[in-house]
């Protein structure tokens, strides 16, 4: 894993082998960020990275100058690793929190420009429930996007707020926004 662009371009992210992670591939990440930089001024964005794992996505947002990044993962090792990497890279715009993602979504009052969700493929099945919670609680700011990375066996095309879907092999990124913004 590496940071693709920004102030820390080329930095290798070397997560410990004992972390339960499945990082977004560089190819998928590069495609995702190409889409995002064409639709958002990342320096003005507040980002929520759910199931942040190694912090691969959070670190990329930070390198590209995102205003604030909240990273949520329930694994203490993942949170500690991301905190250490953020400190090492002097990214004071990352807040790494240890929490259950669904509980965090129920309890937060904050709104975000971009919410990125990359749940464990093999053990997590609440994708639609998570998207509903984000949209129904209006956790997105106006014009905000929720992006869910999931395996191709998970189908989210029936969710009315979907507006785009990109396939990268078996990885799918589904894009959602508030209903009044879908055209």
For the segment 24-29, the average pLDDT, to the nearest whole number, is 76
| Under 8 Å between Cβ of 71 and 49 | yes
| Mean pLDDT within 131-143 | 95
Angle at 39 between CA 36 and CA 44, to 5 degrees: 85
**Count: domains in the chain:** 1
Q: What pLDDT band is residue 23 in, cutting at 50, 70 and 90?
A: low
Residue 20 has pLDDT above 60, yes or no: no
Query: Can you give the pLDDT at residue 165?
Result: 96
* 20 domain-assigned: no
107 lies in some domain: yes
User: Is residue 12, in this structure, part of any structural domain at all?
Assistant: no
Whether pLDDT at 180 is above 80 = no
127, part of any domain: yes
Structure tokens at 118: 């990359």
For residue 140, give Cα distances in angstroms to 60, 131, 151: 20, 11, 23
**Does 135 reside within a domain?**
yes
List, in sequence order, the alpha helices (H) in 95-172: 101-107, 127-136
What is the structure's pLDDT at 42?
Answer: 95
Per residue in 160-174, pLDDT (tens digit) is 999 999 998 888 999
Please check whether residue 153 lies inside any domain of the structure: yes
**CATH code: domain of residue 36:** 3.40.50.150
With beta carbons less than 8 A apart as the criterion, state whether 37 and 60 touch: no
């Amino acid at each position: 894993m590496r940071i693709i662009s920004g102030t820390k371009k080329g930095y290798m992210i070397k997560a410990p082998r004992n972390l339960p992670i499945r990082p977004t591939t560089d190819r998928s990440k590069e495609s995702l960020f190409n889409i995002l930089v064409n639709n958002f001024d990342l320096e003005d964005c507040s980002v929520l990275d759910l199931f942040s794992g190694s912090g691969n996505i959070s670190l990329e947002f930070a390198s590209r100058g995102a205003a604030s990044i909240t990273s949520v993962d329930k694994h203490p090792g993942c949170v500690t690793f991301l905190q250490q990497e953020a400190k090492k890279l002097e990214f004071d715009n990352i807040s790494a929190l240890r929490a259950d993602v669904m509980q965090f979504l129920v309890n937060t009052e904050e709104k975000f420009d971009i919410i990125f969700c990359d749940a464990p493929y093999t053990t997590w099945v609440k994708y639609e429930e998570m998207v509903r919670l984000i949209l129904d609680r209006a956790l997105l700011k106006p014009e905000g996007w929720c992006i869910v990375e999931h395996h191709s066996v998970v189908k989210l095309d029936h969710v009315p707020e979907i507006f785009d879907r990109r396939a990268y092999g078996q990885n799918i990124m589904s894009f959602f926004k508030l209903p009044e913004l879908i055209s």
